[in-house]
Structure 1
Amino acid sequence: MAVIDMNKGAANQGMRGIQEILLRYQADTGMELSYDIFDIRVTGDCPGLGYDVYISSGGPGSPYDGGGEQWEQDFFNLLGDLTRHNELNALKKHVFLICHSFQLACRRFNVGQVIKRRSPAFGIFPVSLTAEGVDDVIFNGLPNPFYTVDSREWQVINPQDVLFSSEKASVLALEKERPHVDLERCVMAVRFTKEIVGTQFHPEADPAGMKMYLLQKDKKKVIIDNHGELKYDDMLQSLGDPDKLQLTQSMVLPNFLNEALNAFQEA
């Protein structure tokens, strides 16, 4: 497996969460798995086609920050190479894209419109599955809606409900309904191709890591300013609910790994 680190050297819980899921998956299944990490925005390292599975993390900043930089072009080229490989070969390579990587992929595949939010989103929020999402394997075992970590200043929308430019893409999840807000619901998950899927939210987030984030003064201020102190207290309390964040963390990425490795074994 190739794990692409999009955090640009910033402190984060995401890479720890991804690696913990991989180690737990290996222990639970008894399969021998190995992975290499590529710190693409710091060192410029980008994996080639020599891996079976790819997971690309979230990260800070604008999804347009890499414009004109080699690392972004290499990442876009990798997505293109993986798509072509899967079109031409029986042995498929599966890809999971998280948050920043998801927004980049939406640009690369011409899916929706990537724009800045009016205000940052940070916290634990419900996410609603579309009809396609209900049937998608990566959400097996989750209720509709389910709860997850949402942390972003940018979003992907589909203006005027027009069809996506990519005929292969399907929307799997949307942000919660907000009847009192006259804004389009942003896209929270997309299957770009049969083997390439991504989420705006953080499926790797766990209660321990999220608690560390919520207790930071700047994060607390953002949540209280945007959602109120009662919502902040509710987020802290929800960390102890096994049917919320812990459930999502235990399902989404392991479901993706099951899908990828089952397809690999069948081929």
Structure 2
Amino acid sequence: MIDKLKLAILDMNDAQPNQGLRCITEIVQKFHEDIDYKIYDVRAKNEIPDSSYDIYISSGGPGSPLEQEPWRQPYLDLMQNLWDFNKMSLAKKKHVFFICYSFQVICDYFELGEIKPRRSTSFGILQVHQTKKGHNDLILKGLPDPFYAVDSRDWQLIQPKLSVFKKHGATILSLEKIRTHVELERAIMAVRFSKEFVGTQFHPEAEPVSMKAYFKLEKNRKIVVESFGEEKYNQMMDRVDDPDKLFLTYNAIIPRFIKNAIVQAKQPLMS
């Protein structure tokens, strides 16, 4: 019988209140028979795991993904070590999932394109369109096109350097919603960096039931309405518990990523 896999959750929220970390933890706990996990507070406490874990999930978070803080180089050194390990290992690999802020940080590190501030914050449950590669990718296969996801960002990856994508073997899996009324480049919303490394600009961990309850609270409703308007709030609440929207994304992307890592780990070693 194989030992349980080790999973590290990298908390990139910088001690700011958030729902994402709880949602990630709840997804991971569904695999308790196969996985033991530990949370590391990367930005607030400079906690960086070692490279002994089998799976890493790096969360979203606030602020600039380009900030030069003490945690940054150790974090990137870890990711480079995991990347190098995967290149050398003929059997067991290290699987990493990057969400939103972490996605921006690693895309900047790999120099896949321009990480730029948005003109305004993108917020809500919005459409995400798959590329041809995305249609057949493990984490997106079978999802409708477009599918819906929680989008919350002040920064974005644009102007992809396709030669760098080719060099790393990376592929673009999805793009943001089509906006016919504005002449702005569509942001890249998901990238597969390798068979084991993948990331999304959106929040696939967002759990619809708790999200609805959270935003129904008056203090949270007030924040959204004051920041984005009543129409945006009503649109989000209309979409949050639609079974054809967020539920599909939540049940597919991160669970598939974890299941795949478990399956790969259980395969017999190459002789």
TM over 0.5, shorter chain: yes
The within-5 A match list for 1:103-142 is: 103-142=104-143
Q: Distance in 2 between matches of 1:180 and 1:93?
A: 42
Judged with a 3 Å threshold, the aligned counterparts in structure 2 of structure 1 residues 214 and 153 are, in CA distance, closer, same or farther, namely farther
Deviation, 1:171, is 0.4
In the other structure, the counterpart of 2:227 is: 222
Task: Identify if the C-alpha distance between structure 1 residues 209 and 158 changes in structure 2 by more than 3 Å, giving closer, same or farther.
Answer: farther
For the residues of structure 2 that align with 1:63 and 1:143, how far apart are their CA atoms? 30
| Matched residue SS, 2:134 | helix
What are the residue-to-residue correspondences of 1:1-267 with 2, within 5 Å? 1-26=7-32, 31-65=33-67, 67=68, 69-89=69-89, 90-158=91-159, 162-166=161-165, 167=167, 168-211=169-212, 212-213=214-215, 216=220, 217-224=222-229, 229-266=230-267, 267=269
Q: Which amino acid in the other structure matches residue 206 of structure 1?
A: E
> Residue by residue, what CA displacement relative to the aligned partner does 1:196-217 show, whole Å, maximum 9, x if unpaired?
0000000000123433247522
CA shift at 1:232, angstroms?
Answer: 2.7
Q: Distance in 2 between matches of 1:34 and 1:213?
A: 31
> Which whole-Å deviations, capped at 9, do the CAs of 1:109-131 have from their partners, x for residues lacking one?
11111000000011100100101
Name structure 1 gaps, 5 residues minimum: none
Whole-Å separation in 2 of the counterparts to 1:25 and 1:148 = 23
Match of 2:3 in 1: none
RMSD after superposition: 1.5
Separation (CA, whole Å) in 2 of partners of 1:230 and 1:8: 30
Structure 2: gaps (5+ residues): 1-6
Displacement, 1:52? 0.4
Any conservation in 1 of the 2:96–2:196 contact (CA below 8 Å)?
yes
Amino acid at match of 2:231: L
Measure, in 1, the Cα distance between the counterparts of 2:106 and 2:61: 13
Deviations along 1:190-239, whole A, 9 cap, x unmatched? Answer: 01122100000000001234332475222222222xxxx33431220112
For the Cα contact (< 8 Å) 1:110–1:164, is it kept in 2? Answer: no
Q: Quick one: distance in 2 between partners of 1:105 and 1:125? A: 23
Of 107-116 and 235-244, the range deviating more from structure 2: 235-244
Letter in 1 for 2:58: S
Checking the alignment, whether the CA contact within 8 Å between 1:109 and 1:192 is kept in structure 2 is no
How far, CA to CA, are the matches of 1:49 and 1:213 in structure 2? Answer: 37
SS in structure 2 at match of 1:118 = strand
Q: Secondary structure at the match of 2:172?
A: strand
**Which deviations, in whole Å up to 9, do the C-alpha atoms of 1:165-211 show, x marking residues without a partner?**
24211100000100111000000000112210000000000123433
CA distance in 1, matches of 2:115, 2:133: 21
Identity rate of aligned residues, in percent?
47
Question: 3-state DSSP class of the match of 1:247?
Answer: helix
Give the drift of 1:64.
Answer: 1.5
Measured at CA, do residues 110 and 32 of structure 1 come closer, stay the same or move farther in structure 2, by a change above 3 Å?
same
Deviates more, 1:118-127 or 1:255-264: 255-264
Shift of 1:242: 1.2
SS across alignment from 2:71: helix
Moved more, 76-85 or 209-218: 209-218
Local SS of the residue matching 2:155: strand
Shift of 1:32: 2.9
Provide TM-score, normalisation by structure 2.
0.90
Q: How many residues align?
A: 255
